[in-house]
Homo-oligomer: A and B are copies of this chain.
């Protein structure tokens, strides 16, 4: 199955969801190279526009995402990755999921607690 990489300048959005709990960890984009590397290795790769490179999630932090199942949407322009999240946290801030804040018409509320200290994991 081929994906439609034409809608977003060669990229498709990819949602990473826990294969057991259903928790959504993050959304990022894949170019064709990231998609093919993900299929070939079973480890999720994304493409960063700001860094202009394809990268493996966890290549620096060790928080690799292992592919359990890949679902494709009706338009073939979005993928849903069912994954096992190594290290138990996907977000570079240290929270388990990037979606750690709730909002609405009122203010913002932080949900959950940090799983790791980003200053220790990302040694810059």
Q: Which residues of B contact A105 (CB under 8 A)?
A: 39-40
> Which of A80, A95, A108 has the most chain B CB atoms closer than 10 A to its own CB?
A80
**Chain A residues within CB distance 8 Å of chain B:** 1, 8, 13, 15, 17, 21-24, 26-27, 39-40, 69-75, 78, 80, 91-93, 95, 98-105, 107-108, 111
| Beyond known contacts A1-B108, A69-B102: 18 more, CB 8 A cutoff | A1-B103, A1-B107, A8-B8, A13-B27, A15-B27, A22-B22, A24-B24, A39-B105, A40-B105, A70-B103, A71-B99, A71-B103, A72-B102, A72-B103, A72-B108, A74-B91, A74-B98, A74-B100
